[in-house]
Chain A
Amino acid sequence: MKLILKHLKNYKALLLLNVISVFGFALVELGIPTVIAVMIDKGVVTGDKGYLFRMGGIIAIISVLGAGGTILLGYCCARISTLVTRDIRLEAFKKVQSLSHAEMNQLGVSSLITRTNNDAYQIMMFLNTILKMALLTPVMIISSYILIIQTSLSLSFIVLATVPLVVGGVIIAAKISSPISEKQQMSLDSINRIFRENLTGIRVIRSCNNNEYETSRFDTENKFFMKQSKKLFCLMSTTEPIFFLLMNMAAIAIYYVSAKMIDANTIQVGRVVAFMDYLFHAMLSVMLFCMVFMMYPRANVSAKRIMEVLNMESSIQNSPQVIEENKKESSIVFDDVTFAYPDGEEAVLKHISFEAKKGETVAFIGSTGSGKSTLINLIPRFYDVNAGAILINGVNIKEYDIEILRNKIGFVSQKATLFRGTIEENIRFGKEDATMEEIIHAAKVAQAYDFIMEKPEGFKEMIVEGATNLSGGQKQRLSIARALVRKPEIYIYDDSFSALDFKTDATLRRQLKKEVKDSIMLIVAQRVSTIMDATQIIVLDEGKVVGKGTHKELLQSCPIYYQIAASQLSEEEMQHE
């Protein structure tokens, strides 16, 4: 709840207005009974009709004031709750932007999406209710109790006696319900999960004929969910009648006592009537308070989930300073680099060293899990090395401002993400001030120009969400064009040719070679044919360098490389090189 309070502080004026308007509401709810009581006691007894009409007028004024207050209250609640939610969302979003890959992976994209959207929504709903009810309740209770005490001190003791009972009851109910509610929520997540699994695995499930197994797996969870829901709903719907019963019993007691008092002529009937009305309104407010309590556990879970994001610290620290670098000769050096993932026990990369200069191509090859992708992820500082250093132009990458560092790099990921917008905008993503010529050129080199021109709108063709209107190969080519348009010092291709057919792959690489003469090119690949002509091939196995050299050299010296090559190329082709 700290989260909400922190953001509420920014809207003190609105909050004040909110409190004031609550009194407006209390005014009607309690004012009308008071006036009616006076009418009965004075007007009826004296038979003064003029007085009655005046009182009627007062009721009308109170009504308008009250309605005005309630409208104002609605305005404040809606305004505050939406503004606060907006701020919380923005804070969470900004935080996510500052996180590094380690934290991003830890939380997961889908979880982050729910946290920024749905959890914030939960908080909004809660806030809206609490601003209405929670403020209303104390105001109503306190003012009705003041009126109750004023009306008759001795009668009020009975009412006061019920207070601890009600408060205790609410606390107990909340205590019982919150673990059930949590269990129910978790069970609902499981139900969703199983269902999603059923949908995504439909072909496998059917080919395994495991329908019945799935049904029984689902039913187990479904039954559990039903049980929790029953408990929760029963609990929620029994608290209300029981509180009312309590209040009703108090009412009977009051009638009894007031009967005695009337008998002794110490109280007027009108007062008793008013008293009962106050009691009735006090009861309603307690009810509303219960509702808030019921909502609390769910909102609290949401708030906790958002807090988790906000409390994350990025493991990558930026050092914004200007540094001298050797601009003339671009180079990248891995100096005895060792790296382990934050929660990994064993190092993924061990003592990696190599060097690349302007115009050179370094290729990385190795089995699944050998650490190829991890290695190149260290260069833009998605993760920081544990030991050793990576130097670009003679400067440790940790000393660069991250923005400057990343501007040096044109990175093409394995799974290319494109954004909603036109093809042109997506290529321009690489360099904001790129001219149309530059964009067309990049597209041509990336072998994307032809298919772009085949689209009805050409470069203005819209890419939809998730880029589902492009094939895998088209996406890869666009993301290559996006990197090319930057004209960076270092190109990194993380298996970015995998979705291309061999022919396009070959042409593309031939074009690239011409294009990037002044840059360093780092390529991760599965296909030997993709990297055969690299200046240097580095063979990785279980995080260690087991071979370094050209294709020809490695065929002789590195048995693992030989095996990989042999699995892809024919005898003849291997001789050929």
Chain B
Amino acid sequence: MNKKTSPKECIGQLFHYVKPYRFKLIFALAMVVVSNLTLAINPTIEGRITTQLAKDATEIIAGVTGAHVHFGIVFHIMALLGTMYVIKTASQLLTAFFLTDAIQQTMHDMRNALQMKIQKLPVKYFDNRPVGDVLSCVTNDVDTLSNALQQTLTKVFDAILTVIFVLIMMFRINWVMTIVAMIIIPLAIAITRAFVNRSQKLFDNQQKMVGEMNGTITELYTGFREIQLFNKQEDSIDKFIEVNNNMCEAAFKAQFMSSLISPCVSLVTYITIGIVSVIGCILVIGGTVSIGGLQAFVRYIWAINNPLSQVSQLSAQVQAAFSAMGRIFTLLNEQEEEQEGSVQIDEEQIEGRVTFEHVQFGYHDDLLMKDVNFEVKPGQMVAIVGPTGAGKTTLMNLLLRFYDVKGGSIKIDGIDIREMNREDLRKLFSLVLQDTWLFKGSIYDNIHYGRLNARKDEVIDAAKMANVHHFIRTLTKGYDFPINEEANNISQGEKQLLTIARAILKNPHILILDEATSSVDTRLERMLQDAMKKVMEGRTSFVIAHRLSTIKNADLILVLKDGDIIEQGTHESLLAKKGAYEALYNSQFANSN
């Protein structure tokens, strides 16, 4: 496994993705600066109106002759204020548009990059990881990053700018008051620190509980049948209540702890405001500060309170964003499968002779296959039998180069498959697996997937050959019948037939059936085999099966055990040998003896 991508590398890689949209982003951030400037200046301007009014008012009250409000000055300031408001709003709107545009484009690119990456990573990568892990990287992590960039980025930027600008403005009003007010900052940080450490642990605990709950629900729901059969509903409800209560407690603690930060920081702010107002009033009496200045100053403290009480929230979001980025870029930096080979092959010329020469292979450090040798002539049908874990599926993995051999070589028509382009190599094969893979879409689309340039009549012919045409016709919408997301609106056997139709449509040189008919009943299987025989006329095929009755007429049977071939030959010759195959074959009728 690759080491994790460090935050520094993350930023570097992120820049790479942002680059095409950097001007938009820079413009958006510049607009944040503008709006923050106006936000910082506005209270002062508002204060100037108040000051002016207060001055005029004092004169009026004092009965100074000709005292009146200086509307000329007030209007002037008001016009200025109005302009500032408009500028602020305009810059905020511009930020919103450009930032959203730049970030969503970047996220789009990143998702595409991930999708393409997945197409290029070796199969091995996925065999070692649960689907959910990789999936969560693409969905949750990208989503987290997107939210972080969309909201947290501007908030952090905002917060820093606000604090700086506001402090400058405060100093301009009165330095004594500012210094008093500045106590808020270290205090707020200290408070946040103290709580964050605690709440982090509680959040981790909550996350653990979420996982536990998910596990429990998954198990109890998938085991629904068993629970009903064995009348265990009460027990399972008890089990659930327990995790549910734990989860509730954990969530409560985490939420409550984190909700404490904001009021504590605010308390400091409130008290500071109290102190500052007292000092401020005294200064106003002394004449060093204007009333408008005092008003503006109090407003500024409120303005600082906001980013400060959010520090904890923001830092959590930033951390989450970095760990999400770490996972995304670690995936994007994984080693890809090499595509190019040195030998160009002409698909038309391939006959389908497959040779395994001294093949050695193991998924881990120890070897599963020590020395596998066999040769398949063009057009032969090869059956591979053996107990679970004997390496039947491994042969298929090696043939299609989902994995590479560790020693020896596999050749098709005498060419080492490692020298071919992967794409060319895979063009030669059709693969039908026990674990059927269908996607959400019509039945037609699913068969058509085998060869995207196939005509409609070719699709129908393939379906007929796979004995699934009739079944499709009985469905409500025929070939347009939509297969749902879980592909559980048709039976397992029907799914297998559809994947066989897809494989037939591809019209390959070599066909691999890996337990492809395990869920189809034997009578249908027999019918299918007859059909396949026609299709596979003159082409090589590999059949992996545990039903021995279905492979009796194979040209070559390979008996595998613990990764190696222990016997090979035809059905008759192997029976005559009275070895492992014979034992395996006879065991199915053990009870009749």
Name the one of B217, B263, B278, B592 contacting A71, with C-beta atoms under 8 angstroms. B263
Q: Is the CB of B86 within 8 A of A198?
A: no
In the bound assembly, the distance between CA atoms of A28 and B305 in angstroms comes to: 14
In the bound assembly, the distance between CA atoms of A573 and B85 in angstroms comes to: 94
In the bound assembly, the distance between CA atoms of A527 and B221 in angstroms comes to: 30
CB distance from B304 to the nearest CB of A (A): 14
The residue in B71, B96, B526 that gathers the most chain A C-beta atoms within 10 A of its C-beta is B96
CB distance from A180 to the nearest CB of B (A): 13
Q: Which of chain A's residues have a CB closer than 8 A to the CB of B23?
A: none
Q: Which of chain A's residues have a CB closer than 8 A to the CB of B366?
A: none
Q: Is the CB of B131 within 8 A of A112?
A: no
CB distance from B62 to the nearest CB of A (A): 11
| CB neighbors of A among B208-237 (8 A) | 210, 213-215, 217-233, 236-237
Answer yes or no: B46 CB below 8 A from chain A CBs. yes
- Binary contact readout A222-235 vs B (1 if CB under 8 angstroms, 0 otherwise): 11011001100110
Q: Is the CB of B244 within 8 A of A576?
A: no
CB distance from B12 to the nearest CB of A (A): 24
Q: Is the CB of A265 within 8 A of B274?
A: no
Q: Which of chain A's residues have a CB closer than 8 A to the CB of B427?
A: 209
What is the interface residue range for chain A against chain B? 35 or more
Given A59-B274, A97-B233, does the pair A203, B260 have CB atoms closer than 8 Å? no
Name the one of A108, A210, A237, A260 contacting B452, with C-beta atoms under 8 angstroms. A210
CB distance from B253 to the nearest CB of A (A): 8
Answer yes or no: B477 CB below 8 A from chain A CBs. no
In the bound assembly, the distance between CA atoms of A409 and B228 in angstroms comes to: 11
Answer yes or no: B135 CB below 8 A from chain A CBs. yes
Q: Is the CB of A75 within 8 A of B267?
A: no
Q: Which of chain A's residues have a CB closer than 8 A to the CB of B97?
A: 234
Q: Which of chain B's residues have a CB closer than 8 A to the CB of A411?
A: 229
Q: Is the CB of A104 within 8 A of B224?
A: yes
Answer yes or no: A509 CB below 8 A from chain B CBs. yes
Q: Is the CB of B299 within 8 A of A280?
A: yes
CB distance from B187 to the nearest CB of A (A): 13
Q: Which of chain A's residues have a CB closer than 8 A to the CB of B138?
A: 192, 195
Q: Is the CB of A567 within 8 A of B291?
A: no
Among A143-151, A160-168, A248-256, A332-340, the one that faces the other chain is: A248-256
In the bound assembly, the distance between CA atoms of A411 and B486 in angstroms comes to: 26
Given A104-B224, A241-B93, does the pair A207, B430 have CB atoms closer than 8 Å? yes
Q: Is the CB of A74 within 8 A of B259?
A: yes
CB distance from A277 to the nearest CB of B (A): 8
| CB neighbors of B among A402-427 (8 A) | 403, 406-407, 409, 411, 413, 417-420
SS class, residues of chain B in contact with chain A: helix
Among A84-92, A171-179, A443-451, A454-462, the one that faces the other chain is: A84-92
Answer yes or no: A117 CB below 8 A from chain B CBs. yes
CB distance from A423 to the nearest CB of B (A): 15
Q: Is the CB of B119 within 8 A of A44?
A: no
Q: Is the CB of B485 within 8 A of A369?
A: no
CB distance from B313 to the nearest CB of A (A): 13
| CB neighbors of B among A124-172 (8 A) | 124, 128
Answer yes or no: B176 CB below 8 A from chain A CBs. no
In the bound assembly, the distance between CA atoms of A273 and B111 in angstroms comes to: 51
Name the one of A62, A94, A564 contacting B521, with C-beta atoms under 8 angstroms. A564
Q: Give the total of B residues in contact with A, Cβ under 8 Å.
A: 156
Q: Is the CB of A32 within 8 A of B270?
A: yes
Q: Which of chain B's residues have a CB closer than 8 A to the CB of A529?
A: 588-589, 591-592
Answer yes or no: B437 CB below 8 A from chain A CBs. yes
- Of chain B, the residue at the smallest CB distance from A71 is B263
Answer yes or no: A5 CB below 8 A from chain B CBs. no
Answer yes or no: A543 CB below 8 A from chain B CBs. no
Q: Is the CB of B452 within 8 A of A430?
A: no
Q: Which of chain A's residues have a CB closer than 8 A to the CB of B549?
A: 567-570
In the bound assembly, the distance between CA atoms of A541 and B107 in angstroms comes to: 54
Answer yes or no: B376 CB below 8 A from chain A CBs. no
Q: Which of chain A's residues have a CB closer than 8 A to the CB of B493?
A: 368-369
Q: Is the CB of B285 within 8 A of A209?
A: no
Answer yes or no: B344 CB below 8 A from chain A CBs. no
Name the one of B81, B259, B281 contacting A39, with C-beta atoms under 8 angstroms. B281
Given A60-B274, A195-B138, does the pair A86, B245 have CB atoms closer than 8 Å? yes
Q: Is the CB of B592 within 8 A of A203?
A: no
CB distance from B408 to the nearest CB of A (A): 23
| CB neighbors of B among A523-574 (8 A) | 526-529, 532-533, 560, 563-564, 567-570, 573
- Binary contact readout A202-222 vs B (1 if CB under 8 angstroms, 0 otherwise): 111111111101110011001
- Binary contact readout B134-158 vs A (1 if CB under 8 angstroms, 0 otherwise): 1100110001001000100000000
Name the one of A56, A223, A260, A532 contacting B274, with C-beta atoms under 8 angstroms. A56
- Of chain B, the residue at the smallest CB distance from A33 is B298
| CB neighbors of A among B467-520 (8 A) | 485-486, 488, 491-494, 499, 506, 519-520
Answer yes or no: B350 CB below 8 A from chain A CBs. no
In the bound assembly, the distance between CA atoms of A124 and B247 in angstroms comes to: 12
Tell me how many residue pairs across A and B have CB atoms closer than 8 Å.
432
Q: Is the CB of A248 within 8 A of B233?
A: no
- Of chain A, the residue at the smallest CB distance from B55 is A269
Among B98-106, B321-329, B535-543, B559-567, the one that faces the other chain is: B98-106
In the bound assembly, the distance between CA atoms of A121 and B214 in angstroms comes to: 12
Answer yes or no: B82 CB below 8 A from chain A CBs. yes
Q: Is the CB of B260 within 8 A of A74?
A: yes
Among A300-308, A465-473, A514-522, the one that faces the other chain is: A465-473
Q: Is the CB of A60 within 8 A of B271?
A: yes
Q: Which of chain B's residues have a CB closer than 8 A to the CB of A198?
A: 115, 118-119
CB distance from A415 to the nearest CB of B (A): 9
Q: Is the CB of A62 within 8 A of B291?
A: no
Q: Is the CB of A78 within 8 A of B96?
A: no
Answer yes or no: A506 CB below 8 A from chain B CBs. yes
CB distance from A471 to the nearest CB of B (A): 6
Q: Is the CB of A532 within 8 A of B591?
A: yes
CB distance from B307 to the nearest CB of A (A): 14
Answer yes or no: A199 CB below 8 A from chain B CBs. yes
CB distance from B482 to the nearest CB of A (A): 13
In the bound assembly, the distance between CA atoms of A117 and B251 in angstroms comes to: 13
Given A43-B281, A52-B282, A82-B251, does the pair A265, B60 have CB atoms closer than 8 Å? yes
- Of chain A, the residue at the smallest CB distance from B137 is A195
Given A43-B281, A367-B524, does the pair A417, B494 have CB atoms closer than 8 Å? no
In the bound assembly, the distance between CA atoms of A49 and B283 in angstroms comes to: 11
Given A74-B256, A79-B252, A256-B78, does the pair A368, B135 have CB atoms closer than 8 Å? no
Answer yes or no: B16 CB below 8 A from chain A CBs. no
Q: Which of chain B's residues have a CB closer than 8 A to the CB of A256?
A: 74, 78
Given A70-B262, A79-B252, does the pair A215, B294 have CB atoms closer than 8 Å? no
In the bound assembly, the distance between CA atoms of A417 and B213 in angstroms comes to: 18
CB distance from A202 to the nearest CB of B (A): 6
CB distance from B493 to the nearest CB of A (A): 3
- Of chain B, the residue at the smallest CB distance from A509 is B591
In the bound assembly, the distance between CA atoms of A74 and B266 in angstroms comes to: 13
In the bound assembly, the distance between CA atoms of A570 and B491 in angstroms comes to: 29
- Of chain B, the residue at the smallest CB distance from A471 is B388
Given A226-B105, A406-B231, does the pair A89, B244 have CB atoms closer than 8 Å? yes
Q: Which of chain A's residues have a CB closer than 8 A to the CB of B88?
A: 241, 244-245, 248
CB distance from B240 to the nearest CB of A (A): 5
Answer yes or no: B402 CB below 8 A from chain A CBs. yes
Q: Is the CB of B259 within 8 A of A77?
A: yes
The residue in A49, A117, A259 that gathers the most chain B C-beta atoms within 10 A of its C-beta is A259
Q: Is the CB of A576 within 8 A of B592?
A: yes
Q: Is the CB of A252 within 8 A of B270?
A: no
A sample of 11 inter-chain contacts (CB < 8 A) reads A60-B271, A82-B249, A96-B224, A112-B217, A219-B115, A249-B85, A419-B219, A429-B232, A529-B588, A529-B589, A560-B523
Instruction: List the 5 shortest-distance A-B pairs measured between CB atoms, nearest first.
Output: A74-B259, A59-B274, A368-B493, A63-B270, A506-B590
Further pairs besides A204-B437, A226-B104, A265-B57: 13, Cβ < 8 Å: A52-B278, A59-B274, A66-B270, A97-B236, A98-B233, A104-B224, A199-B131, A229-B100, A237-B95, A251-B46, A406-B230, A409-B229, A533-B591
